[in-house]
Amino acid sequence: MKDVVIKTRDLVKRYGAHVAVDHLNLQVFEGEIYGLLGPNGAGKTTTILMLLGLTEPTSGSVSVAGMNPARDPIGVKRIVGYLPDRVGFYEDMTGRENLLYTAALNGVTGQQAARRVEALLERVGLSDAADRKAGTYSRGMLQRLGLADVLVKGPKVVILDEPTLGIDPEGVRQILDFIVSLSQKEGMTVLLASHLLHQVQEICDRVAIFVKGRIIAEGPVEELSARIFENEPLTLKVRPIPMTDSVVDAISKIPGVSSTKKSGEYLFVTCNDDVRLEISKTVFRLGASLDHLSLEGRDLDEIYRRYFHTEVLST
């Protein structure tokens, strides 16, 4: 069992009559990527601020690596790297100078700082732009510089607030791959707050659906899917090549398949069990190839919509 690195218990934050965080119970384990999902205004950023000791809870408790952020914010900041949703740098300084400045603030100086900064610039793909002023950087470049900035002090925990917002698809892919490497290659604990569900689904070990300051569902995406879609039939989208009558007929006879329907270049298969493996075997056995095979309507966007709708109806 891995250690719990981030833990909250009945955490509450009120601003006057407004409850931003409502009795939040959260556990994030060492080395995992944990997604905190919810719309803007759900309380994600407020939760992060309490984890960092930047605002105090109204009630409840917070622990980060065994430390109370409200009582020991400096201790927490030594081991936690934080990338806000809008990262800021000194625009008249180069990317390299900004990172060296952050290193100095964290007690890393001289050749050690120079080596570390150079390695990080290369890692985030900014070596060629290292000596350009940060004011000339694009949004995506600033986010990558922000990731390097977060890692200058060698943190154990990384907290990222909407790290891919406003970035082009290629930049998003680079950042997501980078986040995965932090967990898998370096064993860092990553807390990722976002409302971009399809991106979170790709990389998170567990997710929490956060609405009106409360977690309404938590777990691996597969578990959340199993809970919310229990006893509902599955729909598989298949594209065998060629889609002959014999291939369609053979798929329709697979045990568990209740119906098949052609639509354009695809075959939609309704079934009670996940028969993707059986479909693959059947298609190949008949000498056809399989261009596409996916489970429809079970992604995180639909899971979120279902849980959110249930929560709205219950309040």
Residue pLDDT, tens place only, 240-255: 999 999 999 999 999 9
Tens of pLDDT, residues 286-298? 999 999 999 887 7
Mean pLDDT for all residues in the chain: 91
- Between 107-111, 171-175, 249-253, the lowest mean confidence (pLDDT) is in 171-175
> pLDDT value at position 120?
95
> pLDDT value at position 201?
79
**Which residue ranges does the chain devote to CATH 3.30.70.100?**
230-295
Tens of pLDDT, residues 33-74? 999 988 888 899 999 999 999 999 999 999 999 999 999 999
Rounded-to-5 percentages of helix, strand, coil across the chain:
40, 30, 30
For residue 171, give the nearest of 200, 142, 148 by alpha carbon.
142
Percent of the chain scoring above 70 in pLDDT: 97
> pLDDT value at position 313?
45
> pLDDT value at position 301?
76
**Which residue ranges does the chain devote to CATH 3.40.50.300?**
4-87+145-226
**pLDDT above 90 for 271:** yes
For residue 191, give the nearest of 161, 149, 152, 216 by alpha carbon.
161
How would you label 276-299 residue by residue, b for 16+ Cβ within 10 Å and e otherwise? bebbeebbeeeebebeebeeeebe
Confidence of residue 119 (pLDDT cuts 50, 70, 90): very high
**pLDDT above 90 for 239:** yes
Q: How far apart are CA 288 and CA 241, in angstroms?
A: 6
At the second CATH level, the architecture of 4-87+145-226 is 3-Layer(aba) Sandwich (3.40)
Is 228 exposed, middle or buried (CB count within 10 Å of its CB: 0-12, 13-18, 19+)? middle
- Between 102-111, 115-124, 162-171, the lowest mean confidence (pLDDT) is in 162-171
**pLDDT above 90 for 164:** no
pTM of the model: 0.80
| CATH number of 230-295, picked from 3.30.70.260, 3.30.70.100, 3.40.50.1370, 3.40.50.10860 | 3.30.70.100
Confidence of residue 110 (pLDDT cuts 50, 70, 90): very high
**pLDDT above 50 for 79:** yes
